[in-house]
Structures are given as structure tokens and as C-alpha cells.
Amino acid sequence: MAEAIVFRVIERETPALEVRVNFGIFAGRQATPAEIDDLARSLNEVIGAFAILAEERHEFGGEVEAAVRQVVIEVGQDDAGPDPEVLCDRVVARAERWAAECIHTRADLGELGTEI
């Protein structure tokens, strides 16, 4: 049987923790693969396993059209630990620091400046 290029997701495990970084709003661009790797190295110091998604979503409705570039960090139930709120604070702090560094060091790629 051939691999499917498009498939329906019937069941999806909900992550225990999901953090979204509105990267595109402040950077005016998507995060680069190297920047995602930097974020992963930073998060790896506080989380054993996680997923990072770099999304470019296009939303349409009536007269409105929007493009959103986000970085999403997901931590599964088994990896969230006994206190997911404490972990969330750590993830948010590292993601904020990462985003600020990316935007500042690559300001030439952004459209909106370097301040968050």
C-alpha cells in the first residue's frame, strides 16, 4: 500500500501543556529551522520530551483574510511532571527569551522591529 500524502486525523492525544509563541507578529517572518533547534536545546534543559511546530496558518472568513506565523510547544501528559503549571512558567520564560533573542539578532529579516 502506498503512503498517503493527505490523511484524516481521527484521534489525537491532547497535550498536557501547549504554549504558543506569536513569532510572526513581532518578527514579521517565520522562525528559521536553526532558531527552532536553538529553542529545542533550551527547552531540553527543563523537559525530557516535547514537540515544536512552526505553523503558518491562513484563516479566511467573509471579508477577512489573515496569515499567522506561530511556534507551538507541546508537552505530553507523561512528560508534564507532577506540576504542569510550574513547567509552563519555565517553558514560557525560555520561549520569551528565545523569541526576543531571535528577533534582536535577526532584525534584518523582520518587518516590525526588535521590541516585544
Tens digit of each residue's pLDDT (9 = 90 or more) over 56-114: 999 999 899 988 999 999 999 889 989 999 999 999 999 999 999 999 887 664 454 44
Looking at CATH, the fold of the domain delimited by 17-109 is given as: Alpha-Beta Plaits (3.30.70)
The SS3 call for residue 78 is helix
53 contacts: CB under 8 Å, gap ≥ 6: 71, 72, 74
User: Residue 115 pLDDT > 90, yes or no?
Assistant: no
**The pLDDT of residue 107:** 63
Strand order in the sheet with 51-61: 17-21, 64-75, 51-61
Across the chain, mean pLDDT equals 87
What gap in Å lies between CA 112 and CA 62, rounded to an integer? Answer: 27
Q: Which DSSP letter does residue 13 get? A: P
CA distances 73 to 4, 54, 60, 92, Å, are 26, 9, 24, 9
Q: How confident is the model at residue 1 (pLDDT cuts 50, 70, 90)?
A: low
pTM (2 d.p.): 0.81
Percentage, residues of the chain above pLDDT 90: 61
| Grid coordinates belonging to 103 | 528577533
Give the tens place of pLDDT for each residue, 23-55: 998 888 999 999 999 999 999 999 989 999 999
Within 10 A of 74 (CB to CB), how many other CB atoms are there?
17
Within 10 A of 59 (CB to CB), how many other CB atoms are there?
9
